[in-house]
Amino acid sequence: MAGFERSPRSPEAVPTVDADGTQPEIWGWCIQGIGQGSNVGISFVSSTMALTSFSKSYILDFQFSSWYPKFRHISIKSTIIKPLTQDFCNYLNADGIFVPKGSEPESPGLENDDEEAESDDEDENKQYSFPELDAKVRECIAEYGAVFPKLNFSSPKDANWILPASAPLKCTSPADVYMLLKSSDFINHDLDPELVFEGCEESPSWERETYELELVLRKWYYMERNREMRCFVRNNQLIAICQRDNNYYDFLNEDETKKQISTAIEEFWGSKIKPVWTSSNDYIFDVLLTRDLRRAHIVDFNPFVTRTDPLLFTYKELQALMVRSQEGPVFRVIDSRSHPTANVNSPANQHNMVPYEALTMSSGRNIQDFSGLWEQSIVESMNSNDDGDR
């Protein structure tokens, strides 16, 4: 039978560092087996428990195009666009936040009225345009209604503030897609093969060119974050589950709800994922539960390495769970509004924010043109305020 216990993080566990530099004390609720196997001694090892030796092929198993074809029937509808041109890759790597010409519908507020005053050095300040990619993005938007983008591994969720808060990451034009990608720090990982394969074993026969950047457009719909869970599989054993969103939810702390979620995920993993995922025995996957908490859809897969955030666990804790637990996964949630991990008032990824007006005015402009337009906008705003005071 299953039992409940309130499980503080082990004092020996390596702490996770929050964005503000603090080291939170993680508390949560656990569902774990009581019976044979539960008396196995816990031995904390020097390793963090995350894989320390892994190949490039192991990492590539987690890029979207590798796993999605196998699980498309239980995942969010998505379209993979590749290959991407080198020019588009250069655009993503370029300094500044700006959208390419032609990527959004013409708008009086975005027209460039000083075309005859173009800079003489426009060759030096490249202006990008991707008509073929624009067409593919618009085709996906027409099919899905709206999309949210990601690259091989990473999504620009740290840039969700640039679009309306009521519809985070909802893209209805190519410009929305490009603006999200350009505003994100997270996607930088996918742009550099050295970062993608960081920590991998050396493989003399490996060709760097085998890593190919891909743009993924997923059907957008409003996702209730309180139903999104992160699940940890080690040695082909589901050892832990936790909520993904860093907020407190009353219903997640109800015993019956916790049992229902744990059971649903165990059954989903055992019947839908375990028989199909044969690439490795160690992985992390995210699911979105249906509103009745009885079924699930796959959101993403991640490697069991330290670059993947263990959220309410530490990798050292997960090592202990693998050693002792044979009767089911530990399920951990945020158990109070005062929980040190809980988001209270500060928006996520606030360090990445810039004024929305700065982004909307930058369409198709180089940095000199945009700088002048931005200064002009400030002057006009000040003059308008002065007139209003008279």
Q: Is residue 199 part of a domain?
A: yes
pLDDT of res. 122: 46
Examine the domain organization and report whether 276 and 293 are in the same domain: yes
Domain boundary among 199, 222, 245: 222
CA 83 to CA 53: how far, in whole Å? 30
Examine the domain organization and report whether 48 and 91 are in the same domain: no
Examine the domain organization and report whether 71 and 33 are in the same domain: no
Segments forming the whole domain that contains residue 297: 2-54+224-332
Give the chain's mean pLDDT: 78
Structural domains in the chain (count):
2
Q: Is residue 337 part of a domain?
A: no
- SS3 labels along the chain: CEEEEECCCCCCCCCCCCCCCCCCCCCCEEEEECCCCCCCCCCCCCCCCCCCCCCHHHHHCCCHHHHHHHHHHHECCEEEECCCCHHHHHHHHCCCCCCCECCCCCCHHHCCCCHHHCCCCCCCCCCCECHHHHHHHHHHHHHHCCEEEECCCCCCHHHHHHCCCCCCCCECCHHHHHHHHHHCCCCHHHHCHHHHCCCCCCCCCCCHHHCCCCEEEEECCCCCHHHEEEEEEECCEEEEEEECCCCCCCHHHCHHHHHHHHHHHHHHHHHHHCCCCCCCCCEEEEEEECCCCCCEEEEEEEECCCCCCCCCCCHHHHHHHHHHCCCCCEEECCCCCCCCCCCCCCCCCHHHCCCHHHHHCCCCCCHHHHHHHHHHHHHHHHHHHHHHHC
Q: Is residue 376 part of a domain?
A: no
Contact 82, 362 (CB under 8 A): no
pLDDT, one tens digit per residue, over 103-149 is 975 455 544 444 444 444 444 557 899 999 999 999 999 999 999 99
Instruction: Give, in degrees to the nearest 5, the angle at Cα 325 between 322 and 326.
Output: 110
Averaged over 42-48, what is the pLDDT?
36
- Tokens describing residue 318: 């997960």
pLDDT of res. 102: 92
Examine the domain organization and report whether 191 and 244 are in the same domain: no
Examine the domain organization and report whether 244 and 215 are in the same domain: no
Examine the domain organization and report whether 16 and 156 are in the same domain: no
- Tokens describing residue 125: 């300040």
Examine the domain organization and report whether 75 and 202 are in the same domain: yes
Contact 314, 47 (CB under 8 A): no
Averaged over 23-37, what is the pLDDT?
35
Averaged over 64-92, what is the pLDDT?
97
Q: Is residue 387 part of a domain?
A: no
Question: How far from chain centre, in Å, is Cα 40?
Answer: 36
Using pLDDT thresholds of 50, 70 and 90, give the confidence band for residue 293: very high
Examine the domain organization and report whether 237 and 204 are in the same domain: no
Q: Is residue 78 part of a domain?
A: yes
Strands in 78-81's sheet, in edge-to-edge order, are 78-81, 215-219, 147-150
Cis amide prior to 275 (ω within 30 degrees): no
Using pLDDT thresholds of 50, 70 and 90, give the confidence band for residue 234: very high
Domain boundary among 222, 252, 279: 222
